Structure 1
Amino acid sequence: MNPACTHIIDDDEAIRDALEWLFKTRGVPCRSWASAEAFLADWRGDWRGCIVLDIRMQGMSGLECFDELLARGCQLPVIFITGHGDVPMAVAALKKGAFHFIEKPFNDHDLVDLVEKALATDDERLRAAASRETIEARLATLTQREREVMELILEGKYNKVIADDLSISMRTVEAHRSRIFEKMEVRSAVELAQLLTTLRT
């Protein structure tokens, strides 16, 4: 997996250099691009971290770059750098899912704080995705009958009712319940319900 990185996109070389220096002195790994086009040409879907994006640039604007990233399925948090007159555009970007925006001139500490929050958000997203994959892998080990029993367990039905509904013995239900708990790595119906809630959030 690629290490987390702050991706800086700004057509002003002085700002790029200043941001790279700022982040590196704070221990935040970063890379920079001089244009949205250059960044998109290099973009890879497995990148981690966050994006610091100037809203106004020569050629493709920050907003256009953001729209293209959304179209490509990018889920990295995006922080827009804006001028005073660009606030309405930044607000529109927030409504589309941007992480935050910060106005020029900005306080270095405020920007680093935003970036650290964005990096933490992306890390949490990846952890949640890994958790969902683990749960889905466990579900894939269940037989069709075990899935049927599990659904009835989640409905809160007792073993006797499940046995009647599926026309099987209570002992068979108990055996299925035991295997379901073992495969899903839970100890109770409550834990099972809590685990599966992860897939729905």
Structure 2
Amino acid sequence: MDNYVVHVVDDEEPVRKSLAFLLTMSGFTVRVHESATHFLDAAPTVVKACLVTDLRMPDMSGVDLLERLGTMGANIPAIVITGHGDVPMAVAAMKAGAVDFIEKPFEDEVLIEAIKRAASQLEDVVDISHDVASLRARLDGLSVRERQVLTAIVAGLPNKTIAYELAISQRTVEVHRANIMSKMQAKSLPQLVRMAIALEAHERNS
């Protein structure tokens, strides 16, 4: 991690200080920014780094920040931190270029491991983007109901809403979610979302 810098963007000072302390104690070099605008000013000079940003900020959302970075051509791996119920925004952030998202509250190690993966350019993302045929085969292995549940999951709907819309019990939704994760060989919700985005992009471009 020599010369690797983690840039933290959050409008709340206590959060910035807490994350800076955690990451510094974990051996990272950290820079904090109180707004997305502040980080954008520094972005042209940022190299060998990753970005950790909150999704909901007053001046510019995390999604807008990533879209601006994409327009600038800045190649900075980004991890977004989301509140409960913000999965739709997290999905939008990943479509805008985020490599991972983490839902609050989270364990310290979850963030640290996400940053380490970002530092190594998230090899699983590379694998996903180059292995669409395998993903398609996994998707074809889902039942009609499982594909309906998958669509709802990626849309960010909670189990209760999925159960209501599909007229099934929440317990049945949970069983379907477990089956989907297993059949798609996804280790986490962010990875499942990345798979869905890769398939969507492939279908759109084919």
Shorter-chain TM-score: what band?
A: 0.5 to 0.7
- Tell me by how many angstroms 1:96 deviates: 2.9
- Tell me by how many angstroms 1:74 deviates: 1.3
Structure 1 contact 45–74 (Cα < 8 Å) conserved: no
Q: What pairs with 1:80-91 in structure 2 (closer than 5 Å)? A: 80-91=80-91
Report the count of equivalent residues: 122
Partner of 2:173: none
Q: Which amino acid aligns with 2:63?
A: L
Partner of 1:106: 106
Partner of 2:70: 70
Between the aligned partners of 1:4 and 1:109, the Cα distance in structure 2 is: 18
CA deviation vs aligned residue, 1:40-64 (integer Å, no higher than 9, x gap): 1122255221000100011111111
Between the aligned partners of 2:103 and 2:31, the Cα distance in structure 1 is: 21
Q: What pairs with 1:9-158 in structure 2 (closer than 5 Å)? A: 9-121=9-121
- Report the secondary structure of 2:85's partner residue: helix
Between the aligned partners of 1:36 and 1:79, the Cα distance in structure 2 is: 14
Q: Which amino acid aligns with 2:109?
A: H
Structure 1 contact 49–76 (Cα < 8 Å) conserved: yes
Between the aligned partners of 1:111 and 1:66, the Cα distance in structure 2 is: 19
RMSD: 1.9
Between the aligned partners of 2:63 and 2:96, the Cα distance in structure 1 is: 10
Partner of 2:6: 6
Partner of 1:194: none
Between the aligned partners of 1:3 and 1:116, the Cα distance in structure 2 is: 14
CA deviation vs aligned residue, 1:3-59 (integer Å, no higher than 9, x gap): 320010000111100100000111011100000011111222552210001000111
Q: TM-score, normalised by structure 2?
A: 0.56
CA deviation vs aligned residue, 1:45-89 (integer Å, no higher than 9, x gap): 552210001000111111111110000011111000000121111
Partner of 2:151: none
Structure 1 contact 52–79 (Cα < 8 Å) conserved: yes
Structure 1 contact 6–31 (Cα < 8 Å) conserved: yes
Between the aligned partners of 1:47 and 1:40, the Cα distance in structure 2 is: 13
Between the aligned partners of 2:45 and 2:87, the Cα distance in structure 1 is: 29
- Name the stretch that deviates more: 30-39 or 46-55: 46-55
Q: Which amino acid aligns with 2:51?
A: I
Structure 1 runs, 4 residues or longer, greater than 4 Å off: none
Structure 2 unmatched runs, 5+: 123-206
Between the aligned partners of 2:117 and 2:15, the Cα distance in structure 1 is: 21
Q: Which amino acid aligns with 1:103?
A: E
Between the aligned partners of 2:96 and 2:57, the Cα distance in structure 1 is: 20
Between the aligned partners of 1:32 and 1:72, the Cα distance in structure 2 is: 21
- Percent same amino acid at aligned positions? 41
Q: TM-score, normalised by structure 1?
A: 0.57
Between the aligned partners of 1:80 and 1:46, the Cα distance in structure 2 is: 18
- Report the secondary structure of 1:67's partner residue: helix
